[in-house]
Amino acid sequence: MNKDWSCEKKQQARLSTIVEQYRYRYGHSVPKQMQYWSMAGLCDKPGCEIDQLLQSGLITAGQFHGVEIKRDVHERSAIAYPDANWHRGDFYRVMSRASGRGQFRPAIVNADLIQMVETGGQLMMFVANFVLGTRHHKVQTGDHVLAELNKQPNFQAFSECWNFDDSYYEYAGTGKTKVTMGSFVFSSTDRVARIAA
């Protein structure tokens, strides 16, 4: 049996943690060229995730990318909302393939995990990739990136929960344009487990 993701409690949680938080930080709706990715589950009822986001005006159907591993759930969602993008498979692998094809442009990724933090949720790693420089902009150091991030209140709160080992991976970006990228790896602290519990 599939969970009912359209219940009032789930809708309120999405409103508080996705719709209102995005609008508080960025604006009324996701820019047209950007996407919304989700571990969608079954989306075939009024009040389900995609329905709620469409009704709120946060996204359009074409911006929604729902990922589901179960064939029957995937098919029912695709029938209910044919203008959305539906993917069947593992969440990370589907997004990774989309990224490899240059088709991954998320404004929001909703990883609705269904595991307790004690079963592995606290063993998390967050990788942030930033442009360090381009043909027309001098390549910045990792220290510069972190100094700029530390000026932002959202990152200050984030850094209380995540460790950074002061090293980063610098590499040439893809494509013909000269771009230098940097990957910064953060690992979760005990505080992540306390917050999630």
Residue ranges of domains in the chain:
8-114, 118-196
Digitized pLDDT (tens) for each residue of the chain, 197 residues in all: 456 667 787 888 889 888 998 898 889 999 999 999 998 889 999 999 999 999 999 999 999 999 998 999 999 999 999 999 999 998 888 888 888 888 989 888 887 665 444 445 444 556 677 788 888 888 888 788 878 877 876 666 556 666 776 667 777 766 666 888 887 777 665 544 443 33
Predicted pLDDT of residue 9: 78
Beta strand spans in 14-161 (E): 35-39, 64-68, 85-88, 106-110, 125-134
| pTM of the predicted structure, to 2 decimals | 0.63
SS (HEC) of 79-121: HHCCCCEEEECCHHHHHHHHHHCCCCCEEEEECCCCCCHHHCC
